[in-house]
A and B are shown apart, each in its own frame.
Chain A
Amino acid sequence: MNIKPVFLIVDMQNGFCGVGGSFDKLGLSVKPYRRIIPNLTKMISYMRGISIPIYYTKVIKESAGLDLIDRRVLNVLPENQGEKIEDMQLCVKDTWDADIIEEIHPLPGDLILEKSRNSVFQDTEFENWLRTSGADTIIFSGNDSYTCVESSARDAFNKGYNVIMLSDCVASKEENLHIANLLEIAEAYGLVLTSNEMIEKLNNKSLLSVIEPPTVSMISS
């Protein structure tokens, strides 16, 4: 099987999983998120090594305070979601809180997508990038498994892209919903693999055709 994948890292931002970030300061456990950092580091450097395009997503809010996921758009919001939004200056655009954590900070050749909602496809240029590179597959990683990662993966499937999710590179604060997410992807949407299983598949070349990253030469020149 020949696929043309991109590697997507969802919302690994200081505000969610950085020490001293918004979630951390609010006393939410960031441990489940931080636990995947070593696997992500390994995967990112592996993908870079074989020239698979790397995409980071950042969810951002306006510095004006409120944003597109509050009562300006939605009347019906779960209690905890409403509270989170009102109590925090979470991931405000262009702040440290919104930036990708240092451990896996993007390099100049990587692409960064800013999004205002859960899915990486919603109101972003992501699909245009995929089309220009001829990519047909997205390898999913990041957090939170059952919200942004899962919504992005479902959209990817709806739009006709192959879905691969790396079980040890996605994380949730809700362990049971994390597990449910992996089950649902495996049952209805695509492949769920560990990072090592993924590397093994890519190493024996049975599952790959590499996309030339168009931005590299531009950056070096």
Chain B
Amino acid sequence: MQIKPVLLVVDMQNGFCGVDGSFDKFGFNIEPYRAIIPNLKKTIDYFRIRTTPIYYAKAIREASGLDLLDRVHKILPESRREKLDDMHLCIKDTWDADIIDEIYPKPTDYIVEKRRDSVFQDTEFELWLRSFGADSIIFTGIDSYICVESSARDAFNKGYDVIMLSDCVASREENLHIASLAKISEAYGWVMTSDELIEKIENQELIISGVESPPVSLVTSEAES
């Protein structure tokens, strides 16, 4: 089987999983998020050299404090409301909103800023996919059952193949993390570890085609000039 995937890294931002980021300062347990960093690093490196486009999603809010979640919704679960009211979480252009150092994007990677859970909602992501002729998305990042799962469901609805790497996604809610993986493998696509996916590719059970990376020359020439 041959696919043309992109690798998507969802919301690995300082605010959620950085030491001294908003969640950490608030006393949330960020260990489940941080536990996947080594696997992510390995996976990103593996695909980057194969010219698979790497996408980082960033959830952002306006500096004025409030954002599209609380201005729009009258009905919000308590846990979300608290987070919005009590934290200046991932404010646009701050350190908190930036991707964690350990897997920081390279100039040739892509960053998609989003205001809602799904990476497809009001972003240019799908246009990118179409411009590459990509047909599959490899999902990684956090939080498994919120932003990652909503993005994966949208991907399926829009007709993209879904592959979720079980050791590269994480949630602070262990039972919902497990449920999320069960739902994806039951109804939407493949769930496997990063090693399993790499093995499938290495023994050519799964052929992945990369893309010509147009911004590379641009980036290099800028750096040179």
Kindly list chain B residues whose C-beta atoms are within 8 Å of the C-beta of A102: none
Are B3 and A118 in touch, CB under 8 angstroms?
no
Kindly list chain B residues whose C-beta atoms are within 8 Å of the C-beta of A117: 156-157, 159
CB distance from A93 to the nearest CB of B (A): 19
B165-203 CB contacts (< 8 Å) to partner A: 173, 175-176, 179-180, 182-183, 185-190
With A78-B188, A137-B75, A174-B186 as given contacts, are A158 and B118 in contact (CB-CB < 8 Å)?
Answer: yes
Partner of B118, one of A3, A81, A154: A154
Dominant secondary structure at the A interface: mixed
Kindly list chain B residues whose C-beta atoms are within 8 Å of the C-beta of A183: 175-176, 179
With A76-B190, A154-B153 as given contacts, are A187 and B173 in contact (CB-CB < 8 Å)?
Answer: yes
Instruction: Tell me if A189 counts as interface (CB < 8 A to partner B).
Output: yes
Instruction: Tell me if A10 counts as interface (CB < 8 A to partner B).
Output: no
Q: 0/1 per residue, B105-129, Cβ < 8 Å to A?
A: 0000000000011101100000000
Complex Cα distance A119/B120, Å?
14
Instruction: Tell me if B136 counts as interface (CB < 8 A to partner A).
Output: yes
Kindly list chain A residues whose C-beta atoms are within 8 Å of the C-beta of B24: none
A63-103 CB contacts (< 8 Å) to partner B: 68, 73-78, 80-81
Complex Cα distance A35/B3, Å?
41
Number of A-B contacts (CB under 8 A): 131
Complex Cα distance A74/B173, Å?
30
Kindly list chain A residues whose C-beta atoms are within 8 Å of the C-beta of B3: 75-76
Kindly list chain B residues whose C-beta atoms are within 8 Å of the C-beta of A76: 1, 3, 136, 161-163, 189-190
Are A164 and B173 in touch, CB under 8 angstroms?
no
Are B79 and A188 in touch, CB under 8 angstroms?
yes
Instruction: Tell me if B130 counts as interface (CB < 8 A to partner A).
Output: no
Complex Cα distance A68/B175, Å?
32
25 A-B pairs within 8 Å (CB atoms) are namely A3-B74, A3-B75, A75-B1, A76-B162, A76-B163, A77-B189, A78-B187, A78-B189, A81-B188, A117-B156, A117-B157, A150-B153, A154-B153, A154-B154, A158-B118, A158-B120, A158-B121, A163-B75, A164-B75, A180-B175, A181-B183, A183-B175, A184-B149, A184-B176, A188-B146
Report how many residues on chain A are interfacial, defined by Cβ distance under 8 Å. 44
Are A180 and B183 in touch, CB under 8 angstroms?
yes
Interface residues of B (CB under 8 A from A): 1, 3, 68, 72-77, 79-80, 116-118, 120-121, 135-136, 145-146, 149-150, 153-154, 156-163, 173, 175-176, 179-180, 182-183, 185-190
Complex Cα distance A163/B73, Å?
9
Kindly list chain B residues whose C-beta atoms are within 8 Å of the C-beta of A30: none
Instruction: Tell me if A186 counts as interface (CB < 8 A to partner B).
Output: yes
Complex Cα distance A164/B73, Å?
12
CB distance from B40 to the nearest CB of A (A): 21
**Could you list 14 further interchain pairs (A-B, Cβ under 8 angstroms) beyond the known A160-B68, A174-B186, A190-B76?**
A3-B74, A74-B159, A75-B3, A76-B163, A78-B190, A136-B74, A154-B117, A154-B153, A158-B118, A158-B150, A177-B182, A177-B183, A180-B179, A183-B175
